Chains A and B, each alone.
Chain A
């Protein structure tokens, strides 16, 4: 530890998690740590959630190499276990001299979890409960964004177009299969069958005829207990837009992900261009090869997409950042909101970089936004003097 660290802000970066996107989260976490190290005035503290759900912390977790160690599991056991207290402290115990443990207080938490048990609002819930300032969307916004059906319902109410869909639970599929099939038959093929909660294209099937439905639903139900069937967009082009802010929201440049198939598989999205294997500093290159920035859309469409992204961010009550994925019918120029990512992989840093926001500016802005929201929330009244108890005879 350097002496100057006494005056610096300690940021707990939480990554890993019980999710199929565990490894992607490690990459995002490492990226955030590297960016914070480069920024003046911050000490990032890595907090890793193992697949088992256990939390660990230690300097070695700030290096991607640690995760490739053959004795990784044993190594974890030698690390400290962070303790969350419910009065606004996330503290890490240190085995100190003479048995007197020292603690290190975390000022702001920077979640880097993707997918289930994290990005879906779970971590936001834990951190809100502990009264800690944290980066990114709160419980409600995360939960809505990570449930594709809920996201459609909420954004439709805000007048944001999305493609026709049908959603149902595993129980409903078992009990009312013919009703569901009838509803699905009203949609125009191709259809996309997706688990509602997962990102990263896992468990998604594209079907071109109703006959493929049953099998596709089985696949989706393997990952989730709720499934959504969406109508595809003809002449489709995918365009993503990220946003940054709380009340005042700025939008990034637009990017077009370049996938060969009409559907991005997990490997396409994360393994091509060496993103998965590159690691370390958050895959600086590589992923650039599979996107086009700016996306080849006319100015009017670009403005529409930006406007819709901001409106959708407000509709779900988002804060900090999120990425909105749109589908464009290149013939009719119609724009549909497809997906919301409350915590995009590596914070979509390459897109921000192309938009004039450096990695340092990105992470430090997010921390400032987290502190602002926290201060705002603390102004609200949460106690109310009531005489209810006295009145109980």
Chain B
């Protein structure tokens, strides 16, 4: 009885959240957070029951686009109310009946609005398309005239890390420009090109791929001289549908480059099996003819030597984990080919630090080390992070995660695998209750996990709880952080 009442009131309360004034801004926020992709947005709307909880982690940022859509949304609401009011009032029926019809049609609006919102978005796109085309065209011209060496980085994961390592190393001897943040779409890259003054020796571009043909478009825009494929995995599978299509799209870069140099991550089985003999593989064993030796990793960083014949580079990096050896080695080899000296490369590598929220260590006053890997939400990254957790000295190893997103059908398998590999590494596993984490728990049980398993209802509750469960000497790994829009 108690449960029945509870379920009833909850359902009613959740439905009523559609009538809250914030419902409108929540819809615009959902559009913005889905990068204005109708499919992702619609999927999110379908999943959502409590619209008050939508703007939990982030808030609507009032960019011109968001402001326009927000205004349009309220205009639709106003127009609808005026329309149905004047229509029902004009009807020739008893007043009670007319009022009832009016109430009904007004009440229907919040259920139609999420779909109706797509109309102004579509109109906006139509208006924006020619402007964006012009910007891209101009950028294409500018890049064609540039004498800089152009390096393109593609892959399902590790692109930003690769970009930042290259920037750090190459900056020791060359003037380097690189795409900022996650600007990796044709329009994002074009806007970056717009800002260039033409004084760079090397330009590094991060290529984003969401749909088939994306990489081809970017190659046509940038015309890269050198390519790097950082790996192919199940990231973005919800959009690509099949892993074969992901692989094919990523390797559009290889097709474009032809005989030009392409480095491929030798630790990504999908990438290796697709790579051709002329491509250079990089891994923790080495890159091309360069061999890795004496590798050590820990909270302080990673150390190894890279040698080829008489040349030896002492690599000392602030990046954590043995999986960083491959990208570091690739960057060093590439820099060597571009003519940087061993000393310059060593100096550049020493400047590499853990990036924000990517295996980034932090030690607090209470003697607890937190490794922030919240930006990392792909299976290969998670595997690397767990492997790193195994390597570190710790009183207890604590693994904290809400699970990974965009895993599509592979979600069960990916999360069970995480559970299984954690079972022998972690002393405490902290999970957020959602659709993915029960599979981690299942994996833990299957692999005979002897430690402590803790559950929290949402991520914010979990983060608040963390300082309460640690003791001096603990190492806490924070794996991935779900944006609003996944539950």
Contacts and interface: CB of A to CB of B under 8 A. Distances in A.
Interface in B464-487: 464-473
B413 to A, nearest CB: 28
Interface string B451-464: 00011010001001
B485 to A, nearest CB: 22
Contact of B457 (A2, A34, A286, A354): A2
Interface stretch (A37-45, A86-94, A137-145, A260-268): A37-45
Nearest to A357: B471
A256 to B, nearest CB: 16
Contacts of A37: 461, 464-465
A350 B6 CA distance: 40
User: What does DSSP make chain A's interface, helix, strand, loop or mixed?
Assistant: helix
Contact of B468 (A6, A356, A360): A360
Contact of B469 (A281, A285, A358): A358
Contacts of B466: 38
A288 B3 contact: no
A38 B460 CA distance: 11
Contacts of A350: 366
Name which of B367, B467, B471 has the most chain A CB atoms within 10 A of its CB: B467
B471 A288 contact: no
Name which of B455, B457, B470, B471 has the most chain A CB atoms within 10 A of its CB: B471
A349 B455 CA distance: 23
Given A38-B464, A359-B467, A359-B468, A288 B365 contact: yes
A288 to B, nearest CB: 4
B366 A284 contact: yes
Contacts, number: 58
Size range of the chain A interface in the assembly: 20 to 34
A3 interface: yes
Contact of A288 (B366, B454, B468, B473): B366
Contacts of B467: 281, 284, 359
Given A3-B6, A281-B464, A289 B365 contact: yes
Contact of B455 (A40, A288, A353, A356): A40
A125 to B, nearest CB: 31
B50 to A, nearest CB: 13
Contacts of B472: 353-356
Interface string B411-432: 0000000000000000000000
B63 interface: no
A353 B471 contact: yes
A119 B1 CA distance: 43
B386 to A, nearest CB: 22
B366 A358 contact: no
A3 B461 CA distance: 17
B35 interface: no
A273 to B, nearest CB: 9
Nearest to B470: A358
Contacts of A360: 465, 468-469
B365 A285 contact: yes
Contacts of B364: 284-285
A353 B396 CA distance: 13
B90 interface: no
Interface in A321-369: 350, 353-360
Interface string A223-243: 000000000000000000000
Given A3-B3, A285-B366, A358 B395 contact: no
Contacts of B365: 284-286, 288-289
B475 to A, nearest CB: 14
B273 interface: no
A40 B6 contact: no
23 contacts: A2-B457, A35-B468, A37-B461, A37-B465, A38-B468, A38-B469, A39-B468, A40-B454, A40-B455, A281-B464, A281-B467, A284-B366, A285-B366, A288-B365, A288-B366, A289-B365, A353-B472, A354-B367, A355-B471, A357-B471, A358-B468, A359-B467, A360-B469
Given A38-B468, A284-B467, 5 more contacts: A2-B457, A38-B464, A285-B365, A354-B367, A354-B472
